[in-house]
Structure 1
Amino acid sequence: MVLILEDIQIGWICALTIEASTRRIYTYGRINLKTGDGFHNIAIAQLPLAETGKASAATVAKDMRRTFPNIKFGLMVGIAGGIWSCGIDVRLGDVVVGVSDDNGSGVIQYDHGKYLQDSAFVQRGMMNKASKLLRTAVGIVQRNHMCKIRDYVTSLNSPKIRRFAHRPAHDYLFEPRYTHKVKGRSCRYCASDRLRNRPKRSFTYPAIHYGPIASGDAVIKDALFAQTIQEEHGVLCFEMEAAGLDAFPCLVIRGISDYADTHKNDDWHPYAAAAAAAYAKEVLAVVPSTAVAQLPSIAIRSKNLHTGPAYMASLREQEQIRQMRASQKPKLTSKNLHTGPAYIASLREQEQTRQYRESKKRGKGGGCTVM
């Protein structure tokens, strides 16, 4: 599969990187539609090692918007610290989707606001909500799950995923006031009589929860604080990147890798990350590619963007790919000149080229132009 920058319409951002690299490297992929009549070209970007947080996420999102001229929306996919309650049974390995019941933002920046004299802290951080197209897709997937159609479960049970991210056997949740006793990841020295009494589940696959996600600048390892934020805002988990994506319309999807308490460890990280990715793939699989093509681009157009050696090198590489594509096309004959697939493909490519040139003209004035 050979892609050029103009082919990418969806950006996928991951918070944790596997390779110890300080460079932002894109991985390209294709997700087929559930109907079998189309696909999405996506670019996946991972935040550099030791650069998690909203500032780094904002930088990566801005880089994406500058790199891909036809990008339409994004996904923020990764792990988070969950908050269990009697009302909402959030457990390790589950997935939380950042949506709101009142059609508002699915992400709350809990540490952004103001302190008033003789008054409590007033929270004011509500993030940009996901596009209507994505929210509609989430609704479709939610209805499918009610009908016991869960494609993400099939993905998690594939041999490849199970080798990378097997499901751990134990899910420990301690009382909020009981803190971790021995430094290290294991809870083997923590008192078992301080575990919370939760009903057993009748299934082992991840449950999907829909509700607000709390985003801030710190890792939360305080169960009492997490409980307070949950009671105030109804949030289901805590993470650190989505607050930096207000200018990047996206859907936030998080796998629960631990609880927001002192007993954090990495045992569930791979499985939770795989669960979130499997759900994200299921959402994109029900989004029509024709609908994505009709959305306005959120790419950044700058007067300095199309100058300099880096951009010129990119242009040369793109032209080489175009020439390679052209050389692979079947020759037109008088028989199929106006009917064959080669002619249709040629027309489609000409139209894409015309639209791209027009979009460049519209963005030529400098600053930021949203198409």
Structure 2
Amino acid sequence: MRVMMSGGGTGGHIYPAVTIVRAMERLGPCEILFVGTQQGLEADIIPKEGFRLELITVKGFERRLSWANIKNLCSTAGSVWRSMQLIREFKPDIVIGTGGYVCGPVLLAASLLRVPTMIQEQNVIPGITNRILARFVDKIAVGYQEAVQHFSPGSQKKILVSGNPIRSEVMTATREEGVAALQLSAHKRTVLISGGSRGARSINQAMLSVHRHFVGREDIQLLHVTGQSEYNNIVGNLKKYGIDEKNSGNIIIKPYLYNMPQALACSDLAIFRAGAIGLAELTARGIPAILVPYPYAAENHQEYNARAVEHSGAAVVIRDNELNGDKLIAVIEQIMGNTAVLSDMAVASKALGRPEAAVEIARAAVNLAAGKHS
């Protein structure tokens, strides 16, 4: 099978695309071509993943349905034409988009050439590109049931509520591996704190008070991923308070984690932003969460993601502008100090999890390419 994949700009669009094609490769032989832009992270990530990448030039859309976006589609006719050239040369059996404005001309070109098309939307509030493309494509896979209502009535019959694709190693990593790899105590409950690959200043600042409160505790350990730019500041500030994390006995601070699947495997509670893929990984593992949505995400989609998880009983949401050390300490104590609460949240999180989402999307794509309806 020949698969053309488009998704770019941020890791939140790129890694789901990689996960889906890996799942398709497990179902049968595939030849893969990614289409992206030079400006997006895909220009760096996709070649490192071992896939061929072709680049096109695309302008972004406004984050709402508007005449300006229609005009922009017309003004980017060159990128549609280039996409049509690539499709004619590669002859894909299916074209899949996972979000980002690069998907616009690629999926539109595929639709015009009558190649089977699918988009995958990770968030509760769909991105503008996917909302436009929904009218043209053959299949729409969504990460949340709540996302369905945000597509037009005519598009809803195409929707598959699959959950969001996660890396297979998220499910195969074990607690024992995580404890060993991260040099944690096997006898303490672990709180994993991460604001994403670049960190989150508001979470990091609140964590200064959290570390001071929990330092030396025998029952809880804190694994805090600060982001590269914040690491020295956080470690330096803790030293001002007399806390040396290396000798604290229960505080581990990292600038970045390359083995996040192992960290998730040994975590009892997570303090996270509310990106769709991070939430998919947490719920697949059944990890309760304190969520602090990034307030500047497009259309505030992270808060909508977080509220969907909170509504199911798997998380507590603290808005970024309401976050402080005292509030975070209180919520951690409330959850970690009550075994029943922690257990109930873990069950609710596990119930939300869709660890087979990538396989479900891959099978739907294979069926679509073969002319079958699922």
TM-score range relative to shorter protein: under 0.3
Larger Rg: 1
Q: With CA pairs under 8 Å and 6+ residues apart, which has the higher RCO, 1 or 2?
A: 1
- After TM superposition, the score normalised by the length of structure 1 is 0.26
Instruction: Return the TM-score normalized by structure 2.
Output: 0.26
Query: Which structure dedicates a bigger proportion of its chain to helix?
Result: 2
